[in-house]
Structure 1
């Protein structure tokens, strides 16, 4: 099998041929030295240098001599046999094999390779290079870590009231280290840190949205500026984001790190280019923007990296392109009745979007419902896929799990709940205990599938790990006396930022056990979520069966008039029985009133 390719080119295409000749040297310029300039220089001896006076005139390339290569084909159907040996003929193949085996070169090669192979086999039998000897010991050391607390340092800057402090807090074998700084709002009138956004590149910068969420706040001299902080220089803001209306939410563009998206209190959408200062590049017109504050604004994974969408308490979700902010490219009314009426829309107070599901997004409403939307639906009513109800108050945060896209977290009223999209008609598959203070924000850990964070109105940060504790948080930290309203971890899961109502930003470094992925943790978490989803589905089916049975019994039973006196006596008897049982449980004596009641019943 010959493989050959010929390439020809005319000599005239190479240009004019070069003619080299030998010429004697000649002096072109002779500049005599000036003795008066010698005082300005320091003599150095010896000095060697070379000059090339001739200009570069090369117009052609010269290649070295190439190696002539030839192509030969070999039949590899049954070994690499030469042409004169037919692989189908057993006699020819055996004869050729014997000739090769009698060759001295073949014998020496086999002996040399045998020695090397024997050495590798003995080494492999002596040491298993793939065995992990100390993996279990490291895990046991992390679990047996004793509870401790240690203050590292503390200082403050009077100009912007910046304090740096640190301590170790360990609960149940898990620790958290408070490091870095607490940044406060530099404006004289304190405002709430409503949203945090880490810089996508290494996370050394933190964009903080400051806004007063008090209804009709009449305080004077309230600043409308928000800031970008640098963790390495926390004494003053790295950049001040100036605007005519306070910013409720800020988000870095994951594709173009210099673009920053903001949702304003007056309903406008703006964006900044941090390379060009703190003034916004463009803002949406007020008449075509939201009518209420924008609580959620996120970037979309488009090719250009310029598309985004926003949600507000006016009941609308709007899609934008920062190249043309004159009007929204798409609009969705959050009307769960599917009538597309703005008067029936639910106010959006939280928004979440995951790259694993580019067409779906979650909206948390003020009325306690979570709306799962699909942008690819044909009509606006069909874009509202399903609605999850479980919270009494507003849903302050919704977040889809980065490891299990069909599972998402919601934070509202006094609990945090975990939902599964597979159970559309049932309640949440898992939930935290009912806290006394409100839960105001929450998010998943970006590196551990079973870990998520919540913040409360009493200034406490809770770290939950469902693989270890399902009724109590794995770690609780009292961060501030003020309510914590915002929370955001870095992409590495090690650094966590919390924002308070007074504008203080606390930066935490959690222990390695809360951000290090353990063996089989992903599979264990997925199995746990699937088990809880099946359990909830079974309970829901059983509840429906009981309801249907009760309805059938109610239809079959004849309606009989009830005596009001008998109903009153029965209710009174059950009431006093409950009181008596509670007194007996506490070890108290039965009251005289209940004794007299018993005598009356006996009579």
Structure 2
């Protein structure tokens, strides 16, 4: 962090420096007396002159310049560490302490500081630090006042062709500047003459931007570096990652090559917690998360594909829209996707399957905002479709709290950095909703109509008093909320902690109950399937027996029919045989007559006799 103090007064108002030295007397000018002037002198006698014993006074008033007072304070957490040692890293601090303790001057320095410390301890013991100087009755509860918000400034896109203010970022040090990324997110509807510029605005000068950022493609996201306020990282519509240094001007300082960049617009880009402060990562709807180092930004240092099947196939990857990174958990990050699924990842894992830890499903559409609670990082907020949901990492199957379904689409959301129970959401109808679930869960504590066009982006200042929201026509509106929404309430942390624990425990009980019911249903289904299989087997056996019985019935019927036909044929043959004998006798008589007549058919008579004998045998 670079410490800079800007002098407001002009140099001429400080006065010229006086340099005194010993030197000889010098005659600057010598005016000689003029005798002609003495002749013009007239003595006035007598002289009348009024004398008053008091001073002359008169009443007047002027318009003075307004003097604005500002109270500044320093939150001293821990100091005395070298620049290469991060106080938040436990291993680095332990290693540095061991190194210092081995130094020879360490004991001497401790002995010298011991006397000073002893004096401070005695002085501290002489004062009652537990003394009650103010009665509790005099304390005014902030929650008693009416919640409100007012518009402070409006920053409009200076170009004629208006674009959507897609992302906002506050200056990390003084919060006196606001970086706004402008882009047209309508697919293939961007005007040919549309500008690619994004701007950095000074809060006290809404008429013109302080600095213009000129990317090669419109910016979808833009973020200040928390360690170096002069450096910004931006994600472009064509998938490239751009880096600016405000000390070098408006042009891009570093730009990733398009061959190794994203294939879709970069919707999320965040800085990582590192020693150098030059590492960041980005996410895009092409289903990839890439890590970058701005010192060598030509290609990413690492790539992770958002494939929840853990196979690393880019065709099955989910498009990433929202990113979340908490510096207190440097190895974990979360990704919100187009399919309404939140993916929790671990960067330090070795394999792709281990890097994707778990998923949270609950939204019907894309997740536009994803942020952990600054006081309780295990709980995080998601915004998508028509609801905002609060989740717990311990309950993965369902969220612990959600808002009602609104008539308008919710586009963005963020937690308050000062109050753990307050979060903000923006909607397509131009409304900002401020929720305080300790006060009310069913409806927002305050709804403010900011503009007539849809709101797309939201960013809250570190002090929680100011928030900026960007609209579809490129208007960034700065709002100031009442002290009741940005001042920590009494016992609010304990109330919110117990609230999260209670709701998480309730969801766990419900999940266990649902799991038990599903197992019971599964068991019943299996029993029903077994019974159905048994019935099918019984039915099959019955059908087989019935079919076999019908088959044998048909066979027996056919046998009986053939026997009856045979008996009929035999009976007929016998009758024919008896009729043949009678005919034979008649034939013999006719033969005798024929012989007597001189001609007879002797062969035919014998042939008929033979046929009759064969039929009788059969």
With normalisation by structure 2, the TM-score equals 0.65
Q: Which residue of 2 aligns with 1:343?
A: 315
Q: Which residue of 1 aligns with 2:167?
A: 195
Q: What is the CA-CA distance between 1:226 and the residue it aligns to?
A: 0.1
Residues 143, 521 of structure 1: alpha-carbon distance in 2 compared, 3 angstrom cutoff: closer
Aligned pairs for 1:219-298 (under 5 A) are 219-298=191-270
Residues 548, 417 of structure 1: alpha-carbon distance in 2 compared, 3 angstrom cutoff: same
SS in 2 for 1:529: helix
Maintained 8 Å contact 2:392/2:504: yes
Aligned counterparts of 2:220 and 2:457: Cα–Cα separation in 1: 11
Q: What is the CA-CA distance between 1:137 and the residue it aligns to?
A: 4.4
Residues 177, 223 of structure 1: alpha-carbon distance in 2 compared, 3 angstrom cutoff: same
Two-structure CA RMSD over aligned residues (Å): 2.4
Q: Which residue of 2 aligns with 1:524?
A: 495
Q: Which residue of 2 aligns with 1:138?
A: 140
* Structure (1 or 2) with the greater strand fraction: 1
Select 1:129's aligned residue among 124, 128, 131: 131
Aligned pairs for 1:145-156 (under 5 A) are 145=145
SS in 1 for 2:526: helix
Maintained 8 Å contact 2:383/2:411: yes
Q: What is the CA-CA distance between 1:201 and the residue it aligns to?
A: 1.3
Aligned counterparts of 1:307 and 1:467: Cα–Cα separation in 2: 38
The answer on 1:500 being equivalent to 2:471 is yes
Q: What is the CA-CA distance between 1:40 and the residue it aligns to?
A: 11
SS in 1 for 2:480: strand
Aligned counterparts of 2:270 and 2:30: Cα–Cα separation in 1: 66
Aligned counterparts of 1:229 and 1:367: Cα–Cα separation in 2: 35
Aligned counterparts of 2:203 and 2:336: Cα–Cα separation in 1: 31
Aligned counterparts of 1:459 and 1:175: Cα–Cα separation in 2: 17
Aligned pairs for 1:61-80 (under 5 A) are none
The answer on 1:317 being equivalent to 2:317 is no
Q: What is the CA-CA distance between 1:380 and the residue it aligns to?
A: 2.1
The answer on 1:437 being equivalent to 2:408 is yes
Q: Which has the larger Rg?
A: 2
Aligned counterparts of 1:508 and 1:192: Cα–Cα separation in 2: 19
Aligned counterparts of 1:418 and 1:194: Cα–Cα separation in 2: 23
Aligned counterparts of 2:482 and 2:24: Cα–Cα separation in 1: 76
Q: What is the CA-CA distance between 1:178 and the residue it aligns to?
A: 2.2
Aligned pairs for 1:534-573 (under 5 A) are 534-557=505-528, 558-559=531-532
Q: Which residue of 1 aligns with 2:114?
A: none
Q: Which residue of 2 aligns with 1:477?
A: 448
Q: What is the CA-CA distance between 1:417 and the residue it aligns to?
A: 0.4
Runs of 4+ in 1 over 3 A off after TM superposition: 31-35, 38-41, 134-137, 142-145, 557-560
Aligned counterparts of 1:309 and 1:526: Cα–Cα separation in 2: 31
Q: What is the CA-CA distance between 1:39 and the residue it aligns to?
A: 4.6
Q: Which residue of 1 aligns with 2:611?
A: none
Q: What is the CA-CA distance between 1:131 and the residue it aligns to?
A: 5.8
- Structure 2 residues without counterparts, runs of 5 or longer: 1-22, 32-124, 534-618
Q: What is the CA-CA distance between 1:473 and the residue it aligns to?
A: 0.6
Residues 132, 33 of structure 1: alpha-carbon distance in 2 compared, 3 angstrom cutoff: closer
Residues 228, 379 of structure 1: alpha-carbon distance in 2 compared, 3 angstrom cutoff: same
Q: Which residue of 2 aligns with 1:371?
A: 343
Q: Which residue of 2 aligns with 1:398?
A: 370
- Structure 1 residues without counterparts, runs of 5 or longer: 1-30, 42-119, 146-172, 561-603
Aligned counterparts of 2:288 and 2:526: Cα–Cα separation in 1: 45
Q: Which residue of 2 aligns with 1:112?
A: none
**Once the two structures are superposed, what CA deviation does each residue of 1:106-164 show, in whole Å capped at 9, x if it has no partner?**
xxxxxxxxxxxxxx99x98xx9832641467411xx4443xxxxxxxxxxxxxxxxxxx
Aligned counterparts of 2:148 and 2:136: Cα–Cα separation in 1: 22
Q: Which residue of 2 aligns with 1:572?
A: none
SS in 1 for 2:479: strand
Q: Which residue of 2 aligns with 1:70?
A: none
Aligned counterparts of 1:516 and 1:387: Cα–Cα separation in 2: 34
The answer on 1:308 being equivalent to 2:280 is yes
With normalisation by structure 1, the TM-score equals 0.66
Aligned counterparts of 1:315 and 1:478: Cα–Cα separation in 2: 35
SS in 2 for 1:240: strand
Aligned counterparts of 1:218 and 1:197: Cα–Cα separation in 2: 24
**Once the two structures are superposed, what CA deviation does each residue of 1:571-591 show, in whole Å capped at 9, x if it has no partner?**
xxxxxxxxxxxxxxxxxxxxx
Residues 383, 136 of structure 1: alpha-carbon distance in 2 compared, 3 angstrom cutoff: farther
Q: Which residue of 1 aligns with 2:106?
A: none
The answer on 1:489 being equivalent to 2:460 is yes
Residues 218, 450 of structure 1: alpha-carbon distance in 2 compared, 3 angstrom cutoff: closer
**Once the two structures are superposed, what CA deviation does each residue of 1:267-308 show, in whole Å capped at 9, x if it has no partner?**
010111111111110100000000000000111111111111
Q: Which residue of 2 aligns with 1:175?
A: 148
**Once the two structures are superposed, what CA deviation does each residue of 1:331-353 show, in whole Å capped at 9, x if it has no partner?**
10000000001111100011111
**Once the two structures are superposed, what CA deviation does each residue of 1:552-579 show, in whole Å capped at 9, x if it has no partner?**
223334449xxxxxxxxxxxxxxxxxxx
Q: Which residue of 2 aligns with 1:408?
A: 380
Select 1:427's aligned residue among 398, 408, 411: 398
Q: What is the CA-CA distance between 1:551 and the residue it aligns to?
A: 2.2
